[in-house]
Each structure stands twice: as structure tokens, then as C-alpha cells.
Amino acid sequence: MAHDRKEFSHNKYAQRLAEIDKREKERVKRHAHFSSGQPEKPIGSKLPKLKKQRVDRTTIRATFLIVFFIIIIGVMGFIVSPYSKINKITISGNDTLTDKQVLRATGITKQDFMWNFNKKSSEIDKKATKQNPEIKKVTVSVTSFRSIKVQVTENKIIGSVYKNGKYYPVLSSGYILNNSQASPMNDVAVYSGFKSKQVIIQTTKQYAKLSNSIKSGVSEVKFQPTKNDPQRLRIFMNDGNEVLVKYTNLADKMAYYPGIVSQMSGNGVVNLEVGAYSHTYN
């Protein structure tokens, strides 16, 4: 009886081992199927390949870093080299001012670096207009590899202010230059009788808005206020007429002058202070 039990246990154990062995064989077979029929290689055979992959990745990483630093060093070297400085400066828009006067006002030289200009254009404009009142605006732009263009807008000279026996050029901005002259400039009006700086600034700004045909016909602009009109100007024209007008609306009222003169029978006074009418000297 005991012998039969022992034999039964032994048979059961052998059966379990046979089942485990069968399952293992099936697992190996399935794994071989998914691996294209190739049996799994031992880990030792994979080490050389893994080592090569690591070396390749390290080499690529090191090459990238070396190239990156070479580019950075090259760019920095170019920035501080003479090849990054201005080689050519073109100046346009200046009629009264010379190129040298414009450059002196802007402070631009051929020792300046190209990469600095796009950011400094507004700063150069402020500096130039402050240094030279004849400059109204300056725009700096890069035109090519080492070339820049300086575009200038001038405050034109629109007359001469008569003061203490001398004539001083006055700009369209109302600024009076300090370089006095013994006689008035040709083809521009003479301003006289002005004692207030603000009045002459407003007058010249209004005058600058006139058409070229009217401006060319003005000989003298005289500040001649009265009790009834403290803003009155007396303007002497080259055609022999006189115009009475307020300096605050000079630009608007003088636009009527050609039409009024065309209806006059002779030279006389055109009054534009209030309304618009005229009378001849006779």
C-alpha cells in the first residue's frame, strides 16, 4: 500500500516535470518565431555592438560641440575685425549742408562697426538734430555688406532776420542761425520788427507752409502790431503790393492773395486781417 502511494507520487512529479518542459519548449519556439527563426543570442555577443554604438554617439556629440564653438569663435572674431567696419558712406538729401557737416553732426566714421547701426538709427537722428539745427531728420540704413546710406532732411533757410544792422539766416523751424551777414540773402524774405522769439518762430512756421510761388513773391515780412491787432504782419511783395495779415493765420489767408491781386486795377494794399479785401494806393 505504501509502495503504491510512493509510486503514484513519483509518477505525478514526473508528469509535472514533463508539462513544465513542454511549456518551456513552446515558449522557446514562440520566441524563435517572433525573432525570424533565429535563436536568441547570448548577452556576451551583444557587448561589442553596444560599445560601438556608445562610441559613435560620443563622437557625434563631440563633433557637434567642436563645430558649434568654432562657429561662435568665428562670428566673434569677425565682429571685432576690420571687415565688420564701414567701408562706404553715401549721403543724400542735403542741399545746403555739405557731406562733411552731416557726418560731423551724426558722429558717423569709418571706424564704426556695421552691426551697430540698425539699433542706433534713432539715436543718431536725435544727436544730429541737436548738433546741427539745419538738420530736420536723419535716417541711417544698411545698403550692402559694408555700406550705409544717410538720408538727410534739411530745415531750409526761408529768410533773413534783420537785427542790430545785421542779417541772420532763419530756418523753416524758426531757428535763427548765429552767422551774421552784412546784407540779406538773395531770393529769401527779410524779417524785421520782431522782438519775441516765439512770434518769429510761429511766423516762420506759417511762412514755410506757403506755396513756392507765393514765397518767391515776398520781399519783406515786418511785424507791425497795432492796438486793435497785436498779431499784425505787414508784408511787402515784389510786385509792389502790401499785405496785412495776422501771423497766426498767415498760411491760410495768403492762399487768397493771387486771386485778389488778379482783380485789382493797380498796386495797393490787400487786407487779410478780417475777411479779405483790397484797395489801390490811389
Could you report the per-residue pLDDT of 166-190, keeping only the tens digit for each?
999 999 888 889 888 888 887 889 9
User: Do 148 and 172 share a domain, yes or no?
Assistant: no
pLDDT band at 12 (very low <50, low <70, confident <90, very high): low
Are 208 and 172 spatial neighbours (Cβ–Cβ below 8 Å)?
A: yes
Number of domains in the chain: 3
User: Do 187 and 259 share a domain, yes or no?
Assistant: yes
How far is the C-alpha of 63 from the C-alpha of 230, rounded, in Å?
83
What was the pLDDT predicted at 135? 94
User: Do 167 and 276 share a domain, yes or no?
Assistant: yes
What was the pLDDT predicted at 21? 66
For 225-255, the pLDDT digits (tens) are: 999 999 999 999 999 999 999 999 999 999 9
Share of the chain above pLDDT 70, in %: 76
Domain annotation covers residue 20? no
Residue where a domain stops, chosen among 122, 154, 186: 154
Whole-prediction pTM value?
0.61
What was the pLDDT predicted at 27? 66
* Predicted confidence (pLDDT) at residue 6 exceeds the cutoff of 80: no
For residues 251 and 76, which has the higher predicted lDDT (pLDDT)? 251
Domain annotation covers residue 229? yes
* Predicted confidence (pLDDT) at residue 115 exceeds the cutoff of 70: no
User: Do 54 and 162 share a domain, yes or no?
Assistant: no
What was the pLDDT predicted at 266? 92
What was the pLDDT predicted at 252? 93
Domain annotation covers residue 6? no
Could you tell me the CATH number of the domain that includes residue 237?
3.40.50.10960
What was the pLDDT predicted at 2? 47
Domain boundaries, position 64? 43-80
Q: Can you tell me the mean pLDDT for 248-263?
A: 93
User: Do 169 and 275 share a domain, yes or no?
Assistant: yes
* Predicted confidence (pLDDT) at residue 258 exceeds the cutoff of 90: yes
Region of poorest pLDDT, from 33-47, 201-215, 246-260: 33-47
